Amino acid sequence: MRRPISSGATVAQNILVLHGPNLNLLGTREPQVYGRVTLDTINQDLVQRAQAAGAKLAAAQSNHEGVLIDRVQQAKAEGVDFIIINPGGFTHTSVALRDALAGVAIPFVEVHLSNIHRREAFRQHSYFSDLAVGVVCGLGAQGYPLALDYALAFTAAQ
């Protein structure tokens, strides 16, 4: 549930962070592209930041499309207010995950560690960006706290 803050905006109280395929390898997989920060470090930082803001944050990673789809669908029943998602390789392939996000109608920000627009042509198209409230890409692990800051201040009126 959302609660008002002094500026008239609302704080998203229940945030879900989803990480797609191969993000479990962060820190060791192509560090020149994705950096050396591990997924555990990213998640721990996000949980601490959310708690400091009075919000609840859960994070999950899967290499399996169906698991991510199931988690998106569960989010609706759990009262998740906002999703931060790095779909990884599913960015360019998964109509099914896109449809799940559209189906639950929970606002979300799409995050990418690398700048997908400076990569191979097949990586430059996202099935999610047109549904997302916003996209953060190319800022490495720093993109996640930026997305969280936005989620914490998100208002439905925007």
Domains of the chain with CATH codes: 13-153 (3.40.50.9100)
d(CA 152, CA 10): 8
Long-range contacts of residues 28-37, Cβ cutoff 8 Å, at least 24 apart: 33/113, 33/114, 34/113, 34/114, 34/140, 35/113, 35/140, 35/141, 37/140, 37/141
46-50, 68-72, 154-158: range with lowest mean pLDDT:
154-158
pLDDT digits (tens, 9 = 90+) for 26-65: 888 777 766 789 999 999 999 999 999 999 999 999 999 9
Q: How far apart are the first and last CA of the chain?
A: 17
pLDDT at 108 over 90: yes
Beta strands in 23-157 (DSSP E): 56-61, 82-86, 108-112, 134-137
Confidence grade of residue 127 (pLDDT, cut at 50, 70, 90): confident
Enumerate the active-site residues.
Answer: 34, 112
Closest CA to 143 of 85, 89, 104: 85
How buried is residue 130: exposed, middle or buried, by Cβ count under 10 Å (0-12/13-18/19+)? Answer: exposed
pLDDT digits (tens, 9 = 90+) for 137-151: 998 999 999 999 999
Inter-residue contact 68 to 89 (CB < 8 Å): no
Confidence grade of residue 157 (pLDDT, cut at 50, 70, 90): very low
